[in-house]
Structures are given as C-alpha cells and as structure tokens.
Chains A and B, each alone.
Chain A
C-alpha cells in the first residue's frame, strides 16, 4: 500500500492530475470571487516555495522576504510607467526584468546579511525589510512616496479579469517548484542541506558555503520579486506599507513551516491550506481586527501540534507503518531525506 503511494509513476500521475486541475480551474469555477482566491493561493504557493529554497534548505530563516516582494512590485511599476506601457499582456513580459533587478538587490542585502548566522540573520533580514520600506517611502521623486504608485489598468472585464493573473501566478509557482525540485536533487542542494545541518562541518568537507548561501538567497529573492511584480500589476496600485508588508513576509515563512520546512511539497500544501483559511478569516472578520487573532491562534496551535510540519509528520507516519509491515528501506529515498533534516537537538 505505502509502496504504491510513493512509487514514481503514481507520484507523476498525481502531479499531472493536480496541474491539469489547476489549469482548468477558471473553466469550471469562473466567478471572480473564486478566481480571486485562486490567484492568492497560487501566489502563496510560489512565495512559500521560493522562500523554502533559502529558509528550508539552508536553515537561514529570513523574515524579510517581503522586501523583495515589494521591490519587485515597485520595479515593474516603475518600468511600466517610464516606458509608458499600457495595460494588457505586455506588462507580464517585464516581470523577468523585475526579477533580475530584485536579484541585484539581493546580492547587496545577502552580502551583508549572510555575514551573520541564525538569530542575528533573522534580525538583520527584518531590518533590511524596513530599510526597503523606508526607501520606498522617502525616495518620493522615484517611487511617489506615501502617495503610492499606480500600474496601467488591465483592459479585461468581468469573469475573465482574474484569469491572466491566475495563470501568471500559477506559472510562477510552477517555475519556483521546478527550481526547488532541481535544487533538491542536485549537488548544490546537497551542499545547502549540509549547511543547514552543520555549516562548519560543511565548510570543512569542502562545501563552498558562502557562495552556496548567497546563490540560494538570490534565487529565492528573485522568484519572490517576480511574484511581487505580478501582484503589483494585479492590485494596480501600491504604496510602501502595502507592498513591503511584514505580514506577507511572515505568511510565506509560516506556510513553509506548516507544510514542512526543507521539503519540496511542504510549502505547497502549507500555502494552500493556510491561505484558504486566512482568506476566509479575512472575509468573515475583515471589518474587525479579530481575523488577526484567529490567524495567530491557528498558527500557535499548528506549531504546538506539528512542530515539524505536515509533510515530515505524515511521511514519518508512512515510514513507521511500512517498517512495521515489511522490511527494507522501501521509500527511504524520499521520506527519510524529508525527515532527517529537521531532526536537530535543541540547545
């Protein structure tokens, strides 16, 4: 049974079904309320997956990825404004440019932030996020400051309006997943996991830790920046506190943790579940601040019950069941790798 669940053809088949369902979603659920939720779920799948490339694989927890998200949005908005590009499909072509610009920013931030480790790194990323927010606020001549920045208005109407954005977000999520999958099974990814487990030992056995960390940071940031760019175009108007929103930076981290840090599918599962819950809370309690309380409560309960996240907990369960049934490291390749990275002694 468990062997069946984890065999490669079954996995690929399931993946194909999920992708086809995701692609067809706007066809069988075309009302804007649903596709709006779909845009945000796809966005957070991409964000959590991209964040996981740095936070999950190397263990460097960045709480400042909202900086890249907001920077990407501003980058695209400014490019469109300066080139005078009208709404339509054309703005999407400039999303990769926003990604490249975000990558350049990430080189600078990463160079400073990665001089520190663990707790200090977390703090420095938070500080960097507020620095970017302040720059967006203060460079009035460039960004419009607190008055905000408008994007060209997309020409689509009615039920169709959300669809291009949904597919753009979905594409970004798939790209992030593809890169995450490739990194996970490459020598580079192995180096990142080694850094996570023990950076000094990894250095000692010849992992170029500094370069690896920086590359992972840049890839992660560039993906987040591109998703931010699509988001900016979707909401058509951004201002500093809204584009560089600490809550967005936190949400992607929480989703990756919830699903399973350092696993491929954890961030996806975490994002789908939590974003759906978050949107429902915001929808039902949006008028008051109570949705924050509910969100915090979900968060605390999850961490109490499943500190390792869904994917490691479930695959641990499967491993235990299968080892009780039979012998052999049947599916050790996938699940054991997923679980061992989190097994770390507490200080």
Chain B
C-alpha cells in the first residue's frame, strides 16, 4: 500500500514536468496547427545549456541558469518559427512534421558533436538531500522541480487568460481567420507562441535533466511520451495536456510497482490505445470533422 501511495505521489511530482513540457507542445499545436516533433530535442538542448553553465567555471545552479537559458531559448524559438515554419505554404501540417524532425536531428547531431554521446545529469545538493513523509523519502529536487513547473504553468495561464496578448493567442487557437479579421496579428502571435513553447521546453529540460540522466538521443523517448500525452489530452487543449501528463505518469509509476519497471512505458501506450478506441479526439479534444 505504501508502495502504491508512493507511486501516486511520485507520479504527481514527475507529472508536473511532463505537464509543463506537454503544455508548450500543445500551445504550439493550438496556435499553428503544427506538430513540433523537435520539442523533445529542444528540451534536451535546454538541459545541455544548463549543463554547460553548471560545468563551466561560473558553476551556475541549474535553477538559476534558467534566467539565461529561457530567454535564449525563447529567441531560438522565434528564429526557428520565422526561418522554417512560416515559409511553409502548401501542405503545412505534413511538411511541418518533417521540418521540426529535421530540427530535432540537427540538434541531436550538434549536441553529440559538442558533448559526446555519454550520459550526463545535472547535479546539485538538493538532488541527494531528501525529507521523510508518510514513511518514505522524497528528494528535494522533485519538490523544487514540481514547484517550478507549477509556477511556470500558472504564469502561462495568467498570461493566456488575463492579458490582451493572451486573448489574442486564444483567439488564434480558436479560429485563425476570424482572429485575423478582428485585427489580431496572427503571424506575430504564432512567432511569440512558438518562442514561449520553446522557452518552457528549457525549463522542462532543467527539471528533466536533474531527475534523469540524458544523452543527445534521449529526445526520441521524450517526444514519443509528450506526443502521447497531448493526444491523450486532446490536441491543442492545455487543460488536457496537464491532466494527460499527470494521469500518464501515475499510471506509469503504478505499472512499474504492480507489474514490473520494464513494462512501465508500455502501460503508457496501452492507455493511449484504449483512449483512442473509446474517444478518438482525446480527453478534452473537440471532434473536428475536417483535417485535424
């Protein structure tokens, strides 16, 4: 029983970082109707940037390094959007998958070239230090990471629901043409939304990099999980992404306790299949008859 309770607690704590990463991905989908297959690679890039700052002479704490990496990744996101996504005119949906896949490969190759393919991890004092609760130990890093993710998610929701720019983003997500008609600069909204999505990937990368060891090829595993989460939640739904992430991680942790750790990831995909058979549009998705 304690084991199961522990699995649920860890599911929620680690679900937080997946919720953050999946939110960025689903925001990008919602605004631009493109799947950013490079999101996993951008998360890993964020983790490596913090790793570089940590192992440099300055020895920057991973959380503090976000002050540098998040703005940098925001700019990178805007540049990627302007250079590769915006020029796509015909067959955007399919081509964007290929373009972002190419970006992922480029990042993987570059990281492999600079940092080699050895596994690394972001180390800090709060990684090993832990506190006891209900009879089991939780490392501080999980709590700090969870708090950071919740803080960024709250900031994102406040921005979306309490600011005029957030309203413009939501309008673009609902209906791009109509938003344009009422005077929303959808091109600018798209670029900034992509930038925000990539900046949250940097934050996700720090938490991911402190709780997992990673190498440049880690993005395949990561992106398959993130994509599964946003399909489970319903493409383009932020609420769906958050709930999907927490549900998935709890299921994964439970499966690893009850069945076996090697089948944990598989449980993840089984849930996806079940959901698709019952509700092809995902938990919070709207069934769209046209090309969604």
Contacts and interface: CB of A to CB of B under 8 A. Distances in A.
Interface of A: 59, 61, 63, 112-113, 115-120, 122-124, 126-131, 134-135, 137-138, 200, 246-247, 250, 253-254, 257, 261, 288-297, 299-300, 303-304, 307-308, 342-344, 346-347
B29 A119 contact: yes
Interface in B85-103: 87-95, 97-99, 101-103
B106 A293 contact: yes
A289 B112 contact: yes
A346 B89 CA distance: 6
B289 A200 contact: yes
A300 B102 contact: yes
B147 interface: no
Nearest to B84: A300
B101 A117 contact: no
Given A303-B95, A342-B91, A346-B90, A296 B102 contact: yes
Given A112-B276, A138-B266, A289-B112, A117 B291 contact: yes
Contacts of A131: 266, 269
Given A134-B265, A347-B92, A124 B99 contact: no
A288 B112 contact: yes
Given A127-B228, A247-B105, A293-B105, 20 more contacts: A112-B273, A115-B280, A116-B280, A117-B291, A120-B235, A120-B282, A126-B223, A127-B272, A130-B221, A130-B224, A257-B94, A257-B95, A289-B111, A292-B108, A292-B109, A293-B106, A296-B109, A299-B102, A300-B84, A342-B90
Contact of A123 (B103, B111, B216, B231): B231
A48 to B, nearest CB: 13
Contacts of B280: 115-116, 120
Contact of A253 (B93, B98, B276): B98
A292 B90 CA distance: 26
B176 interface: yes
A110 to B, nearest CB: 12
Nearest to B227: A123
22 contacts: A59-B94, A116-B231, A116-B276, A117-B292, A119-B34, A119-B35, A124-B272, A126-B224, A127-B227, A247-B105, A261-B94, A288-B113, A289-B111, A290-B109, A290-B113, A293-B106, A295-B105, A299-B102, A299-B105, A304-B87, A346-B89, A346-B90
A308 B89 CA distance: 10
B110 interface: yes
A289 B216 contact: yes
Nearest to A61: B94
A118 B273 CA distance: 17
A347 B179 CA distance: 13
A307 B35 contact: no
Contacts of A122: 35, 94, 97
Given A120-B280, A344-B91, A292 B97 contact: no
B262 interface: yes
Given A116-B280, A134-B269, A254-B98, A343 B90 contact: yes
A20 B124 CA distance: 65
Contact of A292 (B37, B84, B112, B269): B112
Given A115-B277, A304-B87, A296 B105 contact: yes
Nearest to B236: A119
B110 A293 contact: yes
B276 A347 contact: no
A120 B231 contact: yes
A334 to B, nearest CB: 21
Contact of A120 (B105, B265, B292): B292
B170 interface: no
Contact of A119 (B33, B91, B103): B33
